[in-house]
Amino acid sequence: MNNYFGTDGIRGRVGEKPITADFFLKLGWAVGSVLAQKTPHASVIIGKDTRISGYMFESALEAGFLSAGVDVGLLGPMPTPAIAYLTQTYNATAGVVISASHNHFQDNGVKFFSAKGFKFSNEDQKKIEQKLSQPMLSVSSENIGKAIRHQQSLDKYVDFCKSSFESSLNLSTLSIVIDCANGASYHIAERVFLELGAKVVAINNTPDGFNINKNCGATHTQHLRQTVLENKFDLGIAFDGDGDRLMMIDSKGELVDGDELVFIIAKFWQTHDRLTNNKVVGTQMTNLGMRHGYRNLGIDFIEAGVGDRFVLEKMQAFGAVLGGESSGHIICLNKTTSGDGIIAALQVLEVLVKCNKTLVELKSRVEKYPQVLINVKTTDKINLKKNKALQQAQFEVEETLGEGRVLIRPSGTEPLIRIMVEGRDLTIIQKSAQKLADIVKNN
């Protein structure tokens, strides 16, 4: 069992263990030591999102890696998926992202990518944890690593994103609002869509270190919706703070979530013989309506645990090229190695342009069941399997729903219990979800 690594790297409140400068110093050393044991002349690249604490943790990690004899390339603010790509481009042994994704600026964390652009395996994480339990010892002076700042990273990633869009097409028929969440996509996303010909308005693209994800981005789409409607644009695109999530708003102001976007891409790819093995990977949270939709199209739906890392593992195991989550992590494995908001958005826009359809039209062809999500904050770990009152209530709810689902699970990134109830009757599922939430709160 890992002491530090969660479902998406290491994350927490800045200043509270383990999200402290001294820990990140030792973490850099521990990761660097593990890499150096496997690879002579190991090197890493480090990127970060726009939160104020990124400067501190960047310096700490850099010093840790250098003390382990590992060379460091600094990229500055860069989306998480850009690190996955650039790790391969720069032939680095590993890539590092300093980010807490969709969380507010008070939190931060770190994610790691292998030389092939995939997140570290459980085996790698265990080796790092073992190293962290040992005293930190620097290499000799002549073996200390060197640090450089890569200047062309932004251009390389912009070109890579554009290359994922069919070269014979352009976006000149579309007007788009882009919400950058005051995060790592602030200096990249607008440029990509402009250079492909779209009319673009960018919002929440002036990060100050504190406003990342604040009432904006993929987790708060009200501002984007308002801007799309006021300007009568075709659609809106929202990223989260580190650029690996995608949500869209259609011209009517309706949200188009990750489930729907994956379905839209899957249907198009199936028609054009791009959906390798005719499989799509989702999660426990994937809407029941989507599952029925895939069944009707003859597409095999494969369920993974919640978290893009688990989605990717299932994709690799079953040979799927498309997978994602309702939260907006969408992985196009025939384009890149990780969830990438910009690249996923381009795949949806390619469907619009090639089929001459609006996002409203494409969304209308996706039937979703009503779904209610409630997050209950917790201070202590709750053993869900031993909570008999909760189990009984869940059984009663499932009996009432008939055709529907209940999912209760702890968050992998925050101190929350997540409750999801899904069914055909919105009133019933709202009451059912609240009933379950009340039981969790009182335990």
- Please give the pLDDT value at position 260: 96
Report the candidate in 172, 371, 104 with the shortest Cα–Cα distance to residue 258: 371
Q: Summarize the confidence of residues 314-343 as an average pLDDT.
A: 97
Full set of structural domains in the chain with CATH: 10-151 (3.40.120.10), 157-255 (3.40.120.10), 256-364 (3.40.120.10), 371-441 (3.30.310.50)
pLDDT, tens digit (0-9, with 9 covering 90-100), for 254-274? 999 999 999 999 999 999 999
Q: Summarize the confidence of residues 46-59 as an average pLDDT.
A: 98
- Please give the pLDDT value at position 383: 66
pLDDT, tens digit (0-9, with 9 covering 90-100), for 166-193? 999 999 999 999 999 999 999 999 999 9
Q: Summarize the confidence of residues 309-318 as an average pLDDT.
A: 95
Chain mean pLDDT for the chain: 94
Q: Summarize the confidence of residues 309-315 as an average pLDDT.
A: 94
CA–CA separation, 151 and 132 (whole Å): 32
- Please give the pLDDT value at position 139: 97
172 is catalytic: no
Res. 113 pLDDT band, cuts 50 70 90: very high
Q: Summarize the confidence of residues 15-39 as an average pLDDT.
A: 97
Res. 382 pLDDT band, cuts 50 70 90: low
Among residues 53, 67, 99, 101, the one annotated as catalytic is: 101
- pLDDT surpassing 70 at residue 93: yes
Give percent of the chain with pLDDT exceeding 70: 98
- pLDDT surpassing 50 at residue 341: yes
- pLDDT surpassing 90 at residue 97: yes
Res. 367 pLDDT band, cuts 50 70 90: confident
Range of weakest confidence among 31-40, 290-299, 422-431: 422-431
- Please give the pLDDT value at position 246: 98
- Please give the pLDDT value at position 416: 85
Q: Summarize the confidence of residues 124-145 as an average pLDDT.
A: 95
pLDDT, tens digit (0-9, with 9 covering 90-100), for 386-435? 778 888 888 888 888 878 889 888 876 677 889 999 998 899 999 999 99
- Please report, as a single letter, which amino acid is at residue 313: E
- pLDDT surpassing 80 at residue 384: no
Res. 352 pLDDT band, cuts 50 70 90: very high
Res. 381 pLDDT band, cuts 50 70 90: low
- Please give the pLDDT value at position 380: 64
- Please give the pLDDT value at position 1: 47
365 vs 164, residue with greater confidence: 164
pLDDT, tens digit (0-9, with 9 covering 90-100), for 405-418? 898 888 766 778 89
- Please give the pLDDT value at position 442: 80
- Please give the pLDDT value at position 396: 86
